Amino acid sequence: MASSGKKKTTMAKLMRESRLRERRLDKQARKDARKSAAALGEQPAGEELLDALGDTEDDAELTSQDGSAPEVLEEPRRQIS
């Protein structure tokens, strides 16, 4: 029996796979850069940027004015019958 010539993979799936391959390549490049920087005794570029920025806005939202963590209020659980 001959196979049909119809394409069975959608463009959406092909695009997802393509993005996944790109992310994996980017991740491997970052990993290699970290390894080579560690071998040379340098600080990776991403960490230099974080050091230069200091505290971020997200950190400021997570702490109150006195520096303590905010209270987390939990709603009482409802019993489902």
Distances (CA, A) of 38 to 19, 23, 52: 28, 22, 20
Asked if pLDDT for residue 76 goes beyond 60, the answer is: yes
pTM over 0.85: no
Whether residue 51 has pLDDT greater than 70: no
Q: What is the DSSP string of the chain?
A: -PPP----S-HHHHHHHHHHHHHHHHHHHHHHHHHHHHHHTPPPHHHHHHHHH-S-HHHHHHS-TTSSPPP---PPPPPP-
In this predicted structure, what is the pLDDT of residue 41? Answer: 83
Section 15-44 average pLDDT: 91
pLDDT at 1 (0 to 100) = 54
Reported as a single tens digit per residue, the pLDDT across 54-64 is 655 555 555 55
